[in-house]
Amino acid sequence: MIKLLPLLFIFVSCQDINSNSSDKLLYGPSNLTGSTQFRAAFPIIQNRCANCHTSNIHDPWSGYMNEQDWADQGLVVFGDTANSKFITRIINYGGGDSNMPEGLGALPDAEYDTLLEWVENIPP
Amino acid sequence: MKFILLLLSLMFTSQVLAYSNFIGHGYTSCLNCHYNPSGGGPLNDYGRVVGATLISGRGLYPSSWSEEKIADSAGFLFRKPKQDFLRTQINYRGFQLVRNPGSSESETKQWINMQFDGRAILKFGKNDRFIMVGNYGYAPRPQGADEDISEWRSREHYLGFRITPKLGIYTGLMDKVFGIKVIEHIAYSRTLPQVAQNDQVHGVMAHYLGDMWEMMGQGFVGNLSQDDDLRMKGASLWAERTIFDTHRVGTSFMKSSNQYLDMLSYAAFTRLNLKDGAALLGEFGQTVKTPKTSDATTSRYFLLQTYLRPTRGLYFLGNIEYNQLDLKQEDYTMRWGPGVQWFPMQRFEIRLDVYNSRTFAPQTTTEDSWMYLLQTHIWL
């Protein structure tokens, strides 16, 4: 049986995404690029959103390291907070489905304003 | 009936399980229905027969079919295996996910093919003493993930050897052993300790099944297909004790870390047999996440699930969950809802789960969110 053990490690997974795939982004050194407003907003996203939005079961944001990534995914519209899903889903801001960050309650005003300022000033 | 009793008597000692709630049928251990003693993955021959003759309804079978004939058709592609050393299975799960149902503004519908696996098991010796299990299949690419990420993965591949009927050693890629392995991989009891659908690890597991105690210990080195800095390396312990003959109480500990994060999870849980297929599952746990560069955050959860079985093949579910992501804050979320699980025949499961989520925060009020999942599960 011992002779067969090495065979196990030949059959490694192809897709390797799991609950730890975003640990480097969340807890490792930052390699962000983008506007000053984005770099101000990103720690809030890490603290308030990434706990859920990193796993493979719930819209992972781990790869969105610049503003264009966020726009490409339809989460933000440059300079248009009213049509930016990322903003309208925040508790007490959007419509009936504004329940984010789920499980953490509403954002403090200062953090909320930082996110608004980012989306309002995203360079097109 | 004699055939079924004979088959059951040839297998392991006393009990069977496919889902954790099947303790309601008087079965406590996962081992007798699954090759993996922690549950999940392919069913063994015994599990397939029990699924056909106890769990599933028989309304779709011809009325002339006896239970023996149904049992005979429980194998792969409705056939009775002609040899003992190889078993194959195909397993599919897909579901319709509807968020905010009924809302003209925000209702969304999405069909997700969650799982489509091919499984092969080589087994040798008395009572399948030596097994080799492979489970490879489709895994949906996460929304927004790069297109070059594969949609296929090995869900598990391992060797198992029962040194004695009570003691077994397993090594390879397997689920981490922790808590109650409920089928809902979005359950807080699975996401917070990171024992969700794709969190398998390479490692070695020892399993002991005694008269009153069942225990597992696992050492793991992470998923070897991941970059080394992300692999969670550590160990877990799991123990359940049978009480009053048909119930279980248990506890789990797990410690793991990678280059960026240390994690400690612990839980206490119980599975109660309410007779005639009815069951109650409860788990309470906490997870401490300590990033290498910042302070620790402790999360707390509990899970309460009830199952009622009004008739063979049909289960009514109740689900209540609590999630407090950070004990330093007062905010927490409750998620609850009913469900229906129907096995019209072996190989076929239809399940409806309704979820209502509400966040409680001292300074704010928020609207509830609703969603439901209509799941189809087919196995051949």
Residue with token string 């954790």: B20
E strand map for B108-212? 108-124, 130-138, 152-164, 167-174, 201-209
Tokens of A63: 């790869």
Which residues in chain B touch residue A4, judged by CB atoms under 8 angstroms apart?
159
Of A1, A20, A73, the CB nearest to B232: A20
Give residue A104's pLDDT: 65
3-state secondary structure of A86: helix
Q: ipTM of the assembly?
A: 0.80
* Chain segment A33-58, per-residue pLDDT in tens: 778 888 888 878 877 787 777 655 55
Distance from CA of A2 to the nearest CA of B (A): 10
Mean pLDDT, all residues of chain B: 87
| pLDDT, tens only, B78-123 | 888 888 899 999 999 999 989 888 877 778 888 888 889 999 999 9
Q: Which two tokens stand for residue B61?
A: 């079978």
B325 contact A CB<8A:
yes
Distance from CA of A37 to the nearest CA of B (A): 23
What tens digit of pLDDT does each residue of A13-27 get? 477 788 888 787 777
Query: Does the pLDDT value for residue B12 go beyond 50?
Result: no
Cα A49 to Cα A81, A114, B63, distances in angstroms: 18, 14, 54
Whole-number Å distance between alpha carbons of B236 and B253: 5
B321-363 per-position pLDDT tens digit: 999 988 988 888 899 999 999 999 888 999 999 999 888 877 7
Using alpha carbons only, what angle is made at residue B358 by residues B181 and B176, rounded to the nearest 5 degrees? 20
- pTM for the structure as a whole: 0.82
The token pair at B40 is 């999940």
Cα gap B285→B303, rounded to integer Å: 9
- pLDDT at residue B189 greater than cutoff 50: yes
Whether residues B172 and A15 touch (CB distance < 8 A) is answered with no
What is the model's pLDDT at position A1? Answer: 52
| Separation between Cα atoms, residue A11 and residue B252, nearest integer Å | 29
Query: Which residues in chain B have their CB less than 8 angstroms from residue A27's CB?
Result: 260-261, 291-294
Which among A19, A24, A95 is the nearest to B260, CB-wise? A24
Q: How many CB atoms lie within 10 A of CB B82?
A: 7
Note whether B186 contacts A57, CB cutoff 8 Å: yes
Look at residue B121 and give its three-state secondary structure: strand
